[in-house]
């Protein structure tokens, strides 16, 4: 069987909507631009949704002959695929879910880079301006629904987890689905797929036909965490910070399963926001959970949070071990409080406008060696700001582990050097060491080589 399909032409799906001639022209006229490269890499990731790869660099190297072109026709446009992976097709026809995801990629790349990021009327320097941009991107993707229901549960967790942890995440999703709640994840495999798969069965049993399985990703991570086939609404945000904001603006509560550095980044992002003084009275259910075999992972996370951010941070979440039904029950109770709060203050049910997010959590962090070396990792700052800086550490490690540009930077300049006070570096080192020991860094864990060095009691040169 041929590994590639030489050529195929696709017409737009419902995910795209209508593009103007100017928008089609934007794609047609940028064959050598950064946007064109992003479009190609994201499209390739969607076509490889069943591949067991979590390395963007490897994926691009493996499919160097893949091409995708936008062709303008009288009634709009079409996509032409050259040397597309055969696994995306059945009997010569592209799989419907992959077809939809491809046009979601085109929709989000065109809209984000033309209508939002390069729009002089969009202020990307202020918290309100960035939040407004996130709103526009989500609205364009038809994610925001005018409804009185508050039922979207965001699930975070690792793409490289054990089979037992995956089955547990699926059972939690099932219990959530039985209680008429929807699922949003980072759209990839592992703990991002399990809850969605479980929720489909819970929804089917309850005869819920409009279940939402929302996948939110960004160009740098999509190649390592290709959208799983259950996702029925895929959204690609321009960068990790806007992706994280999209999670907390649309979600009504968050469940965290075991994971690695990416999951730690998400936990620190949410804790930092919840610890901002402006948000102290806003209800936001936050549960960490896993099977009994995951208990050491959550004990390590809990210890790390206590030693770096303190008891106040620990009070923002609860840990539930080996009880999927209780997780779903507590989440439903918490979401009821969210609904009542928003009703009282007049906030939207579909978008959390009232949540304050400091620019430290919104401005994109470029994971260069210099930026990592100069992070402020000490306790002489508000805890939420320390959380913001710790979040950037783990964001850089995600890049060094799985993102194409991060892997290239490590190859060229060596490991990231993380400097800070020993009171912070000791817990960081202990947490990262536990991730490596538990094979939580990459799918090919046996071949993992750390891309970082933890430095203590020293200043960057």
Is the predicted pLDDT of residue 61 greater than 80, yes or no? Answer: no
> Which pLDDT belongs to residue 167?
96
Q: Same domain for 189 and 261?
A: yes
Between 456 and 288, name the one with better pLDDT: 288
> Which pLDDT belongs to residue 74?
66
Enumerate the β-bridge partners of residue 76: 73
CATH of the domain at 405: 3.40.50.450
Is the predicted pLDDT of residue 13 greater than 70, yes or no? Answer: no
Is the predicted pLDDT of residue 59 greater than 80, yes or no? Answer: no
> Which pLDDT belongs to residue 225?
77
Q: HEC states along 429-457?
A: HHHHHHHHHCCCCCCCHHHCCCCEEECCC
Q: Same domain for 143 and 65?
A: no
Tokens of 30: 């940028």
Is the predicted pLDDT of residue 219 greater than 70, yes or no? Answer: yes
Res. 22 pLDDT band, cuts 50 70 90: low
Q: Same domain for 49 and 189?
A: no
Is the predicted pLDDT of residue 19 greater than 70, yes or no? Answer: no
Per-chain mean pLDDT for the chain? 87
Is the predicted pLDDT of residue 10 greater than 80, yes or no? Answer: yes
User: For tokens 């005869």, what's the residue?
Assistant: 207
> Which pLDDT belongs to residue 284?
97
CATH of the domain at 81: 3.30.1850.10
What's the whole-number mean pLDDT along residues 342-349? 93
The residue from 91, 121, 151 where one domain ends is 121
Q: Same domain for 260 and 164?
A: yes
Enumerate the β-bridge partners of residue 9: 80
Of 166-170, 260-264, 454-458, give the lowest mean pLDDT range: 454-458
d(CA 387, CA 48): 34
Is the predicted pLDDT of residue 32 greater than 50, yes or no? Answer: no
- In the chain, what percentage of residues exceed pLDDT 70? 89
Q: What is the pTM of this model?
A: 0.90
Most confident of 119-123, 291-295, 364-368: 291-295
Is the predicted pLDDT of residue 265 greater than 70, yes or no? Answer: yes
- Say how many domains are in the chain: 2
- In the chain, what percentage of residues exceed pLDDT 90? 54
Q: Same domain for 111 and 127?
A: no
> Which pLDDT belongs to residue 450?
80
Q: What is the H or E stretch that residue 311 is in?
A: helix 311-314
Between 135 and 37, name the one with better pLDDT: 135
> Which pLDDT belongs to residue 348?
92
Strand-pair category, 452-454 with 416-418: parallel
Classify the phi-psi angles of 414: left when phi > 0, otherwise alpha if psi is within -120 to 50, otherwise beta: left
What's the whole-number mean pLDDT along residues 182-193? 92
Res. 1 pLDDT band, cuts 50 70 90: very low
Is the predicted pLDDT of residue 329 greater than 50, yes or no? Answer: yes
Of 247-256, 335-344, 431-440, give the lowest mean pLDDT range: 431-440
Q: Same domain for 251 and 162?
A: yes
Q: Same domain for 149 and 128?
A: yes
Q: Same domain for 327 and 440?
A: yes
> Which pLDDT belongs to residue 267?
97
Q: Same domain for 142 and 168?
A: yes
Give the model confidence (pLDDT) of 193-207 as tens digits.
999 999 999 999 999
Is the predicted pLDDT of residue 338 greater than 70, yes or no? Answer: yes
Q: Same domain for 181 and 45?
A: no
The residue from 121, 153, 178 where one domain ends is 121
Give the model confidence (pLDDT) of 373-409 as tens digits.
999 999 999 999 999 999 999 999 888 877 778 888 8
Q: Are 269 and 300 in contact (CB under 8 A)?
A: no
What's the whole-number mean pLDDT along residues 106-127? 82
Q: Same domain for 114 and 126?
A: no
Residues 60/217/406/402 CA torsion (nearest 10 deg): -70
d(CA 39, CA 387): 32
> Which pLDDT belongs to residue 55?
55
Is the predicted pLDDT of residue 27 greater than 70, yes or no? Answer: no
d(CA 374, CA 208): 50
> Which pLDDT belongs to residue 24?
66
Range of the domain at 81: 4-121
The residue from 70, 91, 121 where one domain ends is 121
> Which pLDDT belongs to residue 458?
52
Tokens of 150: 């508050």
Q: Same domain for 306 and 365?
A: yes
Is the predicted pLDDT of residue 153 greater than 50, yes or no? Answer: yes
């Amino acid at each position: 069987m041929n590994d590639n399909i030489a050529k195929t032409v696709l017409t737009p799906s419902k995910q795209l909507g209508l593009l103007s001639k100017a928008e089609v022209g934007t794609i047609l006229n940028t064959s050598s631009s950064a946007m064109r490269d992003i479009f190609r890499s994201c499209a390739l990731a969607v076509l490889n949704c069943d591949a067991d790869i979590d390395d963007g660099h490897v994926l691009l190297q493996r499919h160097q002959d893949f091409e995708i072109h936008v062709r303008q026709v009288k009634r709009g446009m079409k996509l032409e695929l050259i040397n597309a992976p055969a696994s995306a097709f059945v009997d010569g026809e592209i799989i419907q879910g992959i077809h939809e995801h491809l046009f979601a990629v085109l929709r989000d790349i065109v809209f984000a880079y033309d209508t939002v990021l390069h729009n002089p009327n969009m202020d990307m320097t202020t918290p309100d301006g960035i939040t407004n941009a996130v709103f526009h991107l989500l609205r364009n993707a038809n994610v925001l629904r005018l409804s009185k229901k508050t039922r979207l549960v965001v699930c975070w967790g690792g793409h490289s987890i054990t089979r037992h942890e995956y089955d547990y995440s699926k059972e939690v999703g099932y219990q959530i689905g039985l209680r008429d709640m929807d699922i949003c994840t980072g759209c990839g495999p592992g703990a991002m797929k399990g809850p969605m798969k479980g929720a489909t069965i819970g929804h089917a049993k309850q005869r819920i036909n409009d279940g939402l399985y929302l996948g939110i990703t960004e160009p740098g991570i999509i190649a390592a965490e290709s959208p799983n086939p259950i996702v029925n609404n895929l959204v690609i945000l321009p960068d990790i910070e806007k992706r994280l904001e999209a999670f907390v603006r649309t979600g009504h509560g968050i469940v965290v399963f075991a994971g690695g550095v990416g999951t730690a980044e998400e936990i620190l992002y949410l804790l930092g926001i919840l610890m901002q003084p402006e948000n102290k009275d806003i209800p936001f259910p936050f549960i960490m959970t896993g099977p009994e075999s995951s208990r050491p992972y959550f004990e390590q996370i809990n210890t790390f949070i206590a030693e770096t951010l303190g008891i106040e941070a620990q009070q923002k979440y609860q840990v539930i071990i080996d009880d999927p039904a209780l997780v779903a029950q507590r989440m439903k109770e918490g979401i009821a409080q969210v609904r009542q709060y928003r009703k009282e203050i007049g906030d939207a049910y579909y978008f959390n406008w009232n949540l304050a997010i400091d620019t430290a959590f919104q401005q994109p962090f470029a994971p260069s060696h210099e930026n990592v070396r100069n992070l402020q990792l000490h306790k002489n700052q508000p805890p939420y700001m320390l959380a913001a800086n710790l979040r950037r550490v783990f964001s850089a490690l995600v890049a060094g582990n799985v993102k194409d540009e991060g892997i290239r930077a490590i190859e060229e300049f060596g490991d990231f050097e993380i400097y800070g006070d020993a009171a912070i570096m000791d817990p960081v080192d202990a947490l990262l060491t536990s991730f490596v020991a538990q094979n939580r860094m990459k799918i090919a864990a046996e071949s993992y080589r750390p891309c970082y060095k933890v430095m203590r009691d020293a200043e960057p040169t």
